[in-house]
Every structure is written in C-alpha cells, then in structure tokens.
C-alpha cells in the first residue's frame, strides 16, 4: 500500500552554502508551504497555493501554522552508551573516561540492557529533532546489534559501529586487533545498507588501539568505499601528549590515522580542537570531516575549536555538528549551536544562525556524504523533518513576538531552544514524535 503524507506550514531549507554567500540568502523560506511525501520520499515542495491540488484524495494534511519546518537535524558525533553518565561532574577527558565512561560501557555486554538504552536514546534524538546521527556503540558486538535493531524498527537513518579498543582500557572492554576486525566485518555484512542503517569502522582513539588494530581498521575500510570511519582527534592536551609517547614515529596525531589508511571521505574526526594548519590541509586533501562539538569541549574544558579557520575557502574542511553526549551535556543540537555561537564569539568570529542551522542539517549531511539522501527539503530526498515551534516556551514566545526578521527568529530559536522547541519529528514521512 502506498503511504502518503502532506505537511503544510512555513518551511525553510537551503539552496546554497551560507558560508559562501550572505547567510540568509542561502535560505529558501516559504511562509505557507506544502511538502508532499510518498513512501518516505519527498515528492513535491512548494507554496500551498501552487501545490494543494496535488494532495491525494483522502489524505489529511498535518498543518503547522506559526511553526518552522526544517530538514531533520544531523548529529555527526554521539555515544549512545554514555546516556546514563551524561552530566557527570568534575573531570577532564582522560580522568572522565576512567571514572565514568568505562564503567558505564562495561554494561553493554548485556543485549537486553543495550536495547533498553538504545530505545531511550533514539526516542530522545527524535524529541530534539535529530533524525540522523553518527553513533558510537561499545566494544561489545551486542551493543551494535541492539542499536541497529532499534533504529531499523524506527526506519531512522543511523550510522553506528563497534568500538575498537585493544589496549589502555579495562580488560572487560578490550578486544584484540583480530577479534575487533572479525566482529566489525560480521556486523558490516549484517547491517551496512540494510534498510537505512550504515556502518562506521570505529577505533575509539589512538591511545586505545595498537598500531596493528589501526592498520586492520584501514584494511577493513579498503574493502568498501561506502563505509564510514569515526574516531576522536586532538581533543585535549594530556591526550595529545600521550599520543606523542605512544606513537613516537608519527609526524602528528592526525598522521597516526593517516598512515593507517583511515582518512578519506566519510571519515569523521571528532573535536580537532587543537588542529594546526597542516592538519586542516590534510583533512581537506583527504576529504574527511570534523565533527565540531562545542558543548562537549566546554563541558570537559578541552578548548575552543576554530571553526572559521577550519572553513577557510582555500582548504576548506567538511564540518558537521556533534552533541558528543555523554561528554556533551545535551542531545539538543539547538543547545549545541548555542554553545557554538558563544565559542565563536570568544574567538572573535560570528556564527550566523543560518550557518548554524546549515551545519546541523544540509552541511552535516554533506560532511557525511549523505547529501543525496538527507539534510534538505527537496524532492527525491528522504522525508526526515523537524517541526520547530519558536514560541513553545514563555521566553521563546516573548522573544519571537519582538523578532524583526527570519534571521532574528532563527537566532532566538538556536539560542533559547531545546526539546520543547520541537513540535514534531518525521522519519521517512512518518510522524514519530509529537509534543501533544
Ligand atoms: N576520546 C576517546 N573516547 C572518548 C569519548 O568517549 N568521548 C570523548 N569526548 N572523547 C573521547
Ligand atoms: Zn566522543
């Protein structure tokens, strides 16, 4: 049976890149729009008056006057198993991992527990308007199985992978170079491209993998060009010193990954807070992307990622936005963008709200090589949508009433918004979250 959805209301999407043109000029804004979807795919987009006659007979229209409909948001870096230790006090990266994260991740050998947290996590993503994410599981294949099962049931487009970690971690969280390879290969066979699920080869970060494990991760990637890779890079000073000690023969932290064959399109490097000019050059040349995680970087005291330096036109690096929960204290990309704005201000730069929203939608999709599937409201793309209500809260309402332009409304939304600002979330044309 064909499945039709018709959604009416103000919408916005991007027809250009707001980092290369006047940011607001990159936005397509339709004050009274209609989005038609069939079998999960957007079939027509335009003004209500122009398209209303195309609504199939018998279909009720979901109408959102005074809202702003956007493409669903894309979180390019997040750890679902860390949900139970989100907002844990007082430590920077390495101590935070030892104290809170490793004990929490040890529980995911139990697939029943993994299913329960995966389900909560995916529901929470939808409540904040995120429809695609690049997700770390744990070292246990069960944690991946549970996550993909739950995501497949919802038909969300998710990228995930088993963490590879064969040293410098508690014994119950370690694999070996060979077992990590074999388990990842089996999960790729089972899940990569099944429905909307996509696999990321996931070495946690250089300190917890031997050179053999990183090399095998590279060999695994070499088997298929459409696989993703995710890891952490240049997040924290103590971590950086440790990588120098562990890999004395490598020219830099990034070079550890480079020599293992991990840098290419669809490789996502989280943080890059302390990246230097050569690092940005190399990321540009290899086509890998950086997940900018300002909420997490502030929470752990890691530093300020120089976003506008990374985006320099002559060697521009692909950038997405990451919540990095549990180091990030919120799954809401609106809240992460609010942190991103403040970090940019601290560096003497200005993140325009249209640039922020682009990074969280079309730009994020582009950074993952998924721009032909998600990230915009356009015929042929998946109908993954987020319906914002800028007036959802008393403050949002008072601020929106005084707003003088679309930019102003968007800015207030990204500065003040959170889960309450998401009225509804659609995944492949189906409404999976509604605030009512
Ligand atoms: N580096 C290695 N593992 C992690 C992690 O789980 N979170 C963050 N923020 N950084 C890491
Ligand atoms: Zn992380």
State pLDDT tens for residues 166-214: 999 999 999 999 999 999 999 999 999 999 999 999 999 999 999 999 9
User: Looking at the CA of 297, which ligand is closest?
Assistant: 1
For residues 155 and 40, the answer to whether their CB atoms sit within 8 Å is yes
Looking at residue 1, its pLDDT comes to 72
Ligand 1 atom 11: residue of nearest CA: 232
- Ligand 1: atom nearest CA of 232 is 1
Provide the phi-psi class of 241: left if phi over 0, else alpha when psi is between -120 and 50, else beta. Answer: alpha
For residues 125 and 131, the answer to whether their CB atoms sit within 8 Å is yes
Given a cut of 80, whether residue 49 has pLDDT beyond it is: yes
Task: Round to whole Å and give the CA distance between 311 and 280.
Answer: 9
Q: How confident is the model at residue 106 (pLDDT cuts 50, 70, 90)?
A: very high
Q: How confident is the model at residue 418 (pLDDT cuts 50, 70, 90)?
A: very high
Mean pLDDT in residue range 53-82: 98
Residue to mutate (ligand 1; options 256, 269, 270, 272; most atoms within 8 A of CB)? 270
Structure tokens at 191: 């899940």
Looking at residue 302, its pLDDT comes to 98
Residue to mutate (ligand 1; options 77, 91, 205; most atoms within 8 A of CB)? 205
Cβ of 334 closer than 6 Å to ligand 1, yes or no, is: no
Looking at residue 426, its pLDDT comes to 98
User: Looking at the CA of 169, which ligand is closest?
Assistant: 1
Total-model pTM = 0.98
Cβ of 105 closer than 6 Å to ligand 1, yes or no, is: no
Q: Which residue has the tokens 């744990």?
A: 138
User: Looking at the CA of 134, which ligand is closest?
Assistant: 2
Q: How confident is the model at residue 436 (pLDDT cuts 50, 70, 90)?
A: confident
Looking at residue 30, its pLDDT comes to 98
Residue to mutate (ligand 1; options 81, 88, 93, 239; most atoms within 8 A of CB)? 93
Cβ of 327 closer than 6 Å to ligand 1, yes or no, is: yes
Give the SS3 label for residue 20. Answer: coil
Q: Could you please report the per-residue DSSP string of 115-134?
A: HHHHHHHHHHHHHTTEEEEE
Structure tokens at 251: 């020219």
321-346 confidence digits (pLDDT tens): 999 999 999 999 999 999 999 999 99
Looking at residue 347, its pLDDT comes to 98
**In angstroms, what is the span from residue 296 Cα to ligand 2's centroid?**
8
6-30 confidence digits (pLDDT tens): 999 999 999 999 999 999 999 999 9
Cβ of 235 closer than 6 Å to ligand 1, yes or no, is: yes
Looking at residue 389, its pLDDT comes to 98
The full set of domains in the chain, from first to last, is 4-71+375-434 (2.30.40.10), 73-367 (3.20.20.140)
**In angstroms, what is the span from residue 311 Cα to ligand 1's centroid?**
24
387-410 confidence digits (pLDDT tens): 999 999 999 999 999 999 999 999
Tell me the pLDDT of the chain averaged across its residues: 98
Looking at residue 44, its pLDDT comes to 98
**In angstroms, what is the span from residue 143 Cα to ligand 2's centroid?**
16
The beta-strand segments (E) located in 162-264 are 163-164, 197-203, 228-233
Looking at residue 2, its pLDDT comes to 84
Looking at residue 374, its pLDDT comes to 98
**In angstroms, what is the span from residue 232 Cα to ligand 1's centroid?**
7
Q: How confident is the model at residue 140 (pLDDT cuts 50, 70, 90)?
A: very high
Looking at residue 163, its pLDDT comes to 99
Q: Give percent of the chain with pLDDT exceeding 70.
A: 100
Q: Give percent of the chain with pLDDT exceeding 90.
A: 99
User: Looking at the CA of 163, which ligand is closest?
Assistant: 1
Mean pLDDT in residue range 82-105: 98
Cβ of 93 closer than 6 Å to ligand 1, yes or no, is: yes
CA nearest 262: which of 185, 189, 204, 315? 204
């Amino acid at each position: 049976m064909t499945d039709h959805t018709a959604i009416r209301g103000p919408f916005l999407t991007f027809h250009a890149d707001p980092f290369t043109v006047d940011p607001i000029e990159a936005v397509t804004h339709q004050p009274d729009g209609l989005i038609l979807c069939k079998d999960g795919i957007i079939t027509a987009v335009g003004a209500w008056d122009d398209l209303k006659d195309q609504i199939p007979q018998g279909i009720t229209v979901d109408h959102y006057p005074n809202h702003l409909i956007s493409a669903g948001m894309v979180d390019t870096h997040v750890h679902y198993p860390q949900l139970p230790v989100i907002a844990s006090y007082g430590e920077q990266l390495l101590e935070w991992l030892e104290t809170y994260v490793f004990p929490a991740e040890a529980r995911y050998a139990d697939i029943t527990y993994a299913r329960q947290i995966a389900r909560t996590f995916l529901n929470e993503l939808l409540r904040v308007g995120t429809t695609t994410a690049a997700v770390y599981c744990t070292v246990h294949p069960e944690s991946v199985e549970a996550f993909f099962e739950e995501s497949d049931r919802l038909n969300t487009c998710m990228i995930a992978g088993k963490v590879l970690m064969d040293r410098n971690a508690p014994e119950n969280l370690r694999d070996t170079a060979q077992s990590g390879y074999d388990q990842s290969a089996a999960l790729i066979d089972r899940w990569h491209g099944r429905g909307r699920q996509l696999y990321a080869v996931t070495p946690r970060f250089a300190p917890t993998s031997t050179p053999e494990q990183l090399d095998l991760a590279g060999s695994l990637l070499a088997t298929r060009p459409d696989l993703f890779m995710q890891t952490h890079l240049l997040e924290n000073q103590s971590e950086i010193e440790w990588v120098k000690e562990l890999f004395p023969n490598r020219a830099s932290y990034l070079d550890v990954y480079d020599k293992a064959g991990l840098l290419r399109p669809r490789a996502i490097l989280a943080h890059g807070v302390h990246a230097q000019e050569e690092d940005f050059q190399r990321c540009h040349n290899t086509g890998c992307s950086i997940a900018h995680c300002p909420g997490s970087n502030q929470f752990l005291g890691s530093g300020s990622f120089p976003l506008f330096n990374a985006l320099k036109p002559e060697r521009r690096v692909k950038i997405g936005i990451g919540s990095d929960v549990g180091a990030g204290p919120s799954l809401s990309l609106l809240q992460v963008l609010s942190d991103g704005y403040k970090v940019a201000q601290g560096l003497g730069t200005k993140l325009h709200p249209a640039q922020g929203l682009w990074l969280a939608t079309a730009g994020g999709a582009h950074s993952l090589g998924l721009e032909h599937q998600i990230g915009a409201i356009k015929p042929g793309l998946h109908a993954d949508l987020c319906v914002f209500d800028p007036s959802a809260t008393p403050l949002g309402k008072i601020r929106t009433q005084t707003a003088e332009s679309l930019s102003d409304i968007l800015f207030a939304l990204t500065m003040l918004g959170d889960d309450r600002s998401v009225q509804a979330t659609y995944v492949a044309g189906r409404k999976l979250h509604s605030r009512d």
